[in-house]
Amino acid sequence: MQAAAQTPPAPRAATSAYFVNPAVDFALAGGLSIIVFLLVVVFRRPQRTDAIILAAAQLSWVVNWPHFSATNFRLYRSWENIRQYPLTALFIPWVILAVVAAALWSPQVLAPYFIKLFLIWSPYHFCAQTIGVTLIYLRRSGVQVRPWERRVLVSMVYSTLFTLLVRSEVKPETLEYYGIHYMSFGLPAWFLPVAGVLTVATSAGLVACFVLWCRRAGRLLPVVLLVPAAAQYLWFAGGWLWPSFIEFVPFFHSLQYLLIAWSLQLKEQRDRHDITPSRRFVLVESTRWYVLNIAGGALLFFFLPQWLSKGMRLPLPFTTGVFIAGVQIHHFFVDGVIWKLKRTTVSSPLMGNLHELLHPPAAPAPARGSS
Amino acid sequence: MTLRAALPPRRRRLALLAACALLPAAARAEPAPAPGPPPRVVTVVPRPTDRLATERIVLRTICGDIVIALYPDVAPQTVRQIILLAGSGVYDTTHFFHVDPSGYYLQLADARNRILPLTFIQQSLIHPLRAEWGPLRHVRGALSLAREPGRPDTALTSFLILRKDAPFLDKPGDTYTIFGRVEQGMDVVEALSAGRHSADGTPEVRLTVLQALVAGPQQLPALGLRGPQSPDWWLYNAQVAPVTAANERLDWIAAGGFLSSLVLAVAAFFLARRLPGSRGACSLCLLVVSLCGYMLLVLLTPASWTHAWIGVGLLALTLAVIRLLAFFDS
């Protein structure tokens, strides 16, 4: 999910600041990761143990992988969508497939840099989603964001990215992903303190913006407005000394994505087929969407790499590493195109609320007779 | 006449680039950490002769020079590859990382662990070698390709120099490719092994190979071979810098081409954006931008270890290209 490059048009009024309710939105928008981080710190469990790795791997089946599949579902579910983004839908998969094939063909030269590209793009994508989700909540809360305030938000989020990248790229060393060795950039060491200062300064700036928004609104705005950015700070900057927590960052990011994608799916489905809101509709449609995404995720991240490895007689870890990097780059690419908030087809359905999907709108009160 | 000797540095690099293009099948294989199909072993029929190749490999180490003779009839594929690797500078700044505590051998590290990062061309030359088992035995002075245990076709660039006979390495059906022998410089091998090392055989001083040369018999005297000596740090420092420059030259030329293409594609993208109905053209420009950016990553990342500004530039470039891709198909 990515923020649009331009300032979005005047927002359509949302019925509520939340997609579901304050507690669920808080948790899925990043609050759960903040709670988990606090628990990890309080109970002093920084180690990335086998149990932690196993738990994160199991959650991948039901959250991380479906979140990638949800992108494909959104793009390919109808010809209407495919026609809207023809190059992205029909051309880009072949380009990425060609690059994946080249990487598989050249494990020593092309594969390491394909992995490196993926590992830079991935945190960038996290940041773009954080900005997008924050802007959605701001719009839902009726906050008009001025360009400079938006710049503060963007700077804060990208400064965490800078911190993360500098930390992994500052030493000249060979890093590893699925057994594929790639080189770091060996950035100058003084980048680290600079990144730290930038992150702290821009975070303070964002808090100041929040105070400003509250003063302008004349009320205390929902704290969920700051939650995605606060979570982002922990994911990339604050939590790095706690590997047990870092292991779950992709899971938290995926939860955030699924909340928005699920909400959009229900709203669009209801509008497209003019379905009467009901508990049954929400349950059936949510289940159908989620099951399809679990199946799609398993296909992309488990079955296809296995078949590819057997078919091409290549080592499974290597094939899996390259193939899932390709799947994820496709996800980043598509997300950058289909989630532009400046498009009303995207932003308008995101102003809905679960309540509207569960209950039909109340009938207008009958006019009182005057005779 | 060898490649290194016959051509000036720039043309030698171009020739290697062409050679690289002719080796697609060879570059495809990968040492496999996971179980795969059973390894294909080519057993060379023993020949009555162990004729030596005319070329010699000279390893200029910090403790002196070692001259290696090769067996082209026994291990033809390995010999061709070793000459190619040495001629293209792959072995420059590698090191002997293991001195067998029992005194049987000295082992050269994988070239990917050398001081200077391998260039794009050098990386593309490295590929797994099929085992070539011949009549030769692991005797003092023999050169034997290192590989993963139980997987004969996984040798890359690392090899052993035998310091004494090691018949236990001549396992029928699971031996190692012997491709050459030390012709001069066994005393240098001993000097390298004589330094202090840990109990597991890791030397305390880095036993660097400053340069590996391919030379014909007539060229050897002109090289002024050095006998055994204590580590020569002056030579070490003097050798590394020129080697860096030579190895990077071709990558710089190619990188310049990709960078120019990238700049042109970005300019074309911004021009096309002003025109109505140019969605496809804009997207095509962005594709060219991203492919050029990827190739720059491939070509220049190794140089970023020696020039920090390249790393900074590459990171900024990668993020900028990713940012631009948000305009794709819109």
Q: Encode pLDDT of B82-139 as tens digits.
A: 999 998 889 988 999 999 999 999 999 999 888 777 877 788 888 889 899 888 899 9
Residues in B 86-125 with any Cβ partner in A closer than 8 A? 112, 117, 120, 123-124
With contacts defined as CB-CB under 8 Å, which chain A residues touch B34?
315-318
Q: Which of B124, B322, B325 sits opposite A109 (nearest CB)?
A: B124
pLDDT in tens, A329-361: 999 999 988 888 777 777 777 888 888 888 877
d(CA B257, CA B262): 9
Q: What is the largest CA-CA distance in chain B?
A: 77
Least confident of A6-20, A47-61, A176-190, B77-91: A6-20
Buried b / exposed e along B57-77 (16+ C-beta atoms within 10 A): bbbbbbbbbbbbbbbbbbbeb
Enumerate the residues of chain A whose CB falls inside 8 A of the CB of residue B329. 85-88, 337
Instruction: List Cα–Cα distances, B145 to A314, B74, B167, in angstroms.
Output: 23, 13, 15
pLDDT of residue B248: 62
* Overall average pLDDT of the A135-162 stretch: 95
Contact B33 A95 (CB under 8 A): no
Nearest to A313 among B24, B37, B124 (CB): B37
Nearest to A359 by CA among A291, A279, A251: A279
- Rounded to an integer, the average pLDDT of B267-283 is 90
- Inter-chain touch A183–B287, beta carbons under 8 Å: no
Q: Using alpha carbons, select from A2, A131, A182 the residue that is nearest to residue B314.
A: A182
Query: Are the beta carbons of A106 and B27 separated by less than 8 Å?
Result: yes
Question: For B27-69, how does the pLDDT look when each residue is reduced to its tens digit (9 = 90+)?
Answer: 333 333 344 444 444 444 444 456 788 889 999 998 899 999 9
Smallest Cβ distance to A187: which of B37, B312, B330? Answer: B312
Q: What is the pLDDT of residues A265-298, one digit of tens each?
A: 998 888 888 888 889 999 999 999 999 999 999 9
| Number of helices and strands in chain A (H, E) | 18, 2
Q: Which residue has the higher pLDDT, A205 or B248?
A: A205
Written as six digits, the tokens of B242 are: 């020129």
Taking an 8 Å cut-off on Cβ atoms, the answer to whether A337 and B123 are in contact is no
pLDDT band at B244 (very low <50, low <70, confident <90, very high): low
Q: Indicate if the pLDDT at residue A24 is higher than 60.
A: yes
Contact A130, A232 (CB under 8 A): yes
Confidence (pLDDT) at A364: 61
Q: What is the complex's ipTM, to 2 decimals?
A: 0.88
Interhelix angle B9-21/B76-87, rounded to 10 degrees, is 140
Q: Which of A231, A363, A108 is nearest to B156 (CA)?
A: A108
Contacting residues of B for A332, CB less than 8 Å apart: 322
Domains, chain B, with CATH or none: 3-29+39-231 (2.40.100.10), 247-327 (no CATH)
B134: left (phi over 0), alpha (psi -120 to 50) or beta: beta
Kindly list the residues from chain B whose CB atom is less than 8 angstroms away from the CB atom of residue A340: 326, 330
